[in-house]
Structure 1
Amino acid sequence: MNSFNWDNLKIFLAVARAQSALEASVLLGIDQSTISRRLHQLEKDIASRLFDRNSQGHRLTAAGHRLLEHVEKLETSITAIESEVFNDSMSLTGDIRLGATEGFGSYFLSPHLARFCARHPNISVELLPMPRNINLSKREADASVSLERPTNDQFVTSKLCDYRLLPYATAEYLDRHAPITTVSDLERQRWIDYVDDLKFTNQQFTLHDWLPGIKPFFCSTSVIAQFQAAQAGVGMAFLPCFLANTVQNLIPVLPDDIQVTRTFWLTAPEDRRELARVKVLWEYLRKVADANQGYLMGAEKHIRWVTP
């Protein structure tokens, strides 16, 4: 054990929680080959195989489960040291890892977070825009913006905002197809949608929920992929207004007749929410969301900036 590298435990923890070296590489910002090499070194150091590896990902072995139990206790101790020994709960310094849905994180939160970091140079924000829910119980992030309201009593949760979705298509697509004057006309369109059986939450909007008889010609688990496909002018997609309004070539269809809204929730574990740096980011995100309610609901075309 003289050569044991404790840094490899962080990689082990990420892979164990994601059950995938690829997803762990995204979470940690480390390339997948480095993760695989470090895992093999860890297994060599402790002389035990920690994962069964196959096409489905990484599954813990019995030895892996035993190690995970100890590493999670170590992680809890480190968090306590940050708060109690280094006075972390009162200092506007350190790292914040924020999880978010893919489209909202990439197209709305990202520019606001960049301004926040410019205002608070001693705080580093790691944004994780993912096409799945971030697991706060497993410490994948310090806070998250999600479509579902968590029910765990150990979390602090606040409604962040509502947002609206509408059908969007390019002018070229609309010119090539019959006029759309009523909702029933939408049934004859070429649709882009989610892969219905791979939704990560029931709050994700899919055509199957709204027009169950429609069979989309193109589907993706990524809202950004749907957004790009709609911009190509080959079909129509239901998109969040905050995403579609970032480009000029997408036109909302029947905006006066269709009302589809969803809600984003801001959540953090109680111990992380009490950290000063998390508190100041939390309040900033609430101000940003309040200032941009018109933009998120499709009533305004431009983002409003808020002083961090």
Structure 2
Amino acid sequence: MLNSNWDNLRVFLAVARHNSAVEASASLSLDHSTVTRRLKILERELGTQLFGRNSQGHVLTHAGRQLLRSVEAIENSLSMVESQVGHDNKTLIGKIRLGATEGFGSFFLTPHLCDFCERHPQIRVDVLSMPRCINLSKREADLAISVDRPTAGFYVASKLSDYRLRLYATPNYLASHPPIKSVADISHHRLIAYVDELSYSDELRYVEKLAPGALVRLRSTSIIAQLNAARRGKALAILPCFLATPCADLLPVLPDEASLVRTFWLIAHKEQREIARIRVLWDYLRQTVEINRDFLMGDSQELRFLDD
């Protein structure tokens, strides 16, 4: 018979989602010994093993997978209760964890979120700017901004904005290398790009479309690393306009021909979307992007703020 409290089930969820007791303990701010002890209590109460171990870490057994579905249903119900009753639905108090792509989160969102926190001093925002997808199903964040729209799950997804990418180089690079008068000329140049096999989205595999035949000699999983490398002046780079435009030492190359558009999606769990503090940030993000559409598309050099 299961007599465990929610804390033990929360530990189970964390280990299942991270595939690691060590990572689960870090995410829960608990000692590793506490996590393993609570797992043993849970397994003893259920009379079954919930995890196996292999080179990948903790792997759910058949019983573990069955329990995971039930516990996630409980978690969703608790979130629904939070959104329907209690102070969180009525007052703008608490923490919001916002996941975003690395460049957009670091260069565009963070300055605007300083203003948001000034507007709402009782809300704390944790920004997760990472060169990977934020996993909402693992509750890594309350809101996420992604280049991919979710195709499954209980999510609300709304198009946030299109953004443009162009080919960029420093003036010194362009002056000291063969001229680029057409897309065909790009094949004579070196390029900085993503590590395709480690790319977290097909939307980021655009080298052959934008710079066919280019000699890729430096790759990075980080768009910020690519930006910094491009500013060194040794190669071309494909960069979002919102990253490159503020850099006076970078110039667009063939801005009309070597250009493509991608989309940012704003995503949340359906039940969390109605929590007041999350709803107010959702609306703020949409308003912020709305006044910066030209900037995101590379048609303006001015980053605008709602409170200016």
TM-score grouping bracket, smaller chain normalisation: 0.7 to 0.9
Aligned residue runs from structure 1 range 139-150, under 5 A: 139-150=139-150
SS of corresponding position for 2:136: coil
| Contact kept in structure 2, 1:93 and 1:277, CA below 8 Å | yes
Equivalent position of 2:284 in the other structure: 284
Confirm or deny that 1:40 pairs with 2:36: yes
Contact persistence 2:102–2:224 (CA under 8 A) = yes
| Contact 2:183/2:212 (<8 A) preserved | no
Distance 2:107 2:52 in 1: 36
Q: Distance in 2 between matches of 1:67 and 1:153?
A: 18
Change over 3 Å in CA distance of 1:249–1:118 after alignment to 2:
same
Partner of 2:132: 132
* Alignment map for 1:74-85 (pairs within 5 Å): 74-85=74-85
C-alpha separation between the residues in 2 aligned to 1:205 and 1:199? Answer: 7
Q: Which residue of 2 aligns with 1:108?
A: 108
What residue is the counterpart of 2:244 in the other structure? Answer: 244
TM-score normalized with structure 2 length: 0.83
Distance 1:209 1:268, change over 3 A: same
Structure 1 match to 2:202: 202
Counterpart of 1:273 in structure 2 is 273
Q: Quote the offset at 1:262 in angstroms.
A: 0.7
Question: 1:96 corresponds to which residue?
Answer: 96
| Identity in percent | 48
Encode CA deviations 1:64-92: one digit per residue, 9 max, x unaligned.
54553454244224313423441432321
Letter of the structure 2 residue corresponding to residue 68 of structure 1: L
Q: Is the 8 A contact 2:183 2:211 kept in 1?
A: no
Question: Which has the higher mean CA deviation after the structures are superposed, 209-218 or 17-26?
Answer: 17-26
Structure 1 counterpart SS, 2:300: coil
Separation (CA, whole Å) in 1 of partners of 2:276 and 2:28: 25
Larger-Rg structure: 2
* 1:52 is aligned to 2:53: yes
What amino acid maps onto 1:283 in structure 2?
D
Conservation of the 8 A alpha-carbon contact between 2:25 and 2:32: no
Query: C-alpha separation between the residues in 1 aligned to 2:284 and 2:209?
Result: 34
Separation in structure 2 between the aligned mates of residue 276 and residue 53 of structure 1, nearest angstrom = 42
Residue type at the aligned position of 1:150:
P
Count, aligned residues: 300
Q: Is the 8 A contact 2:166 2:238 kept in 1?
A: yes
Q: Residues 128-277 of structure 1: matches in 2 within 5 Å?
A: 128-152=128-152, 154-277=154-277
Asked if the contact 2:145–2:266 (Cα under 8 Å) also holds between the matched residues in 1, the reply is yes
Deviates more, 1:291-300 or 1:35-44: 35-44
| CA shift for structure 1 position 293 | 1.0
Which residue type is aligned with residue 40 of structure 1? T
- TM-superposed CA distance for 1:299, in Å, is 1.8
Report the AA paired with residue 52 of structure 1: R
Q: Distance in 2 between matches of 1:279 and 1:42?
A: 35
Query: How many Å separate the matches in 2 of 1:153 and 1:76?
Result: 12
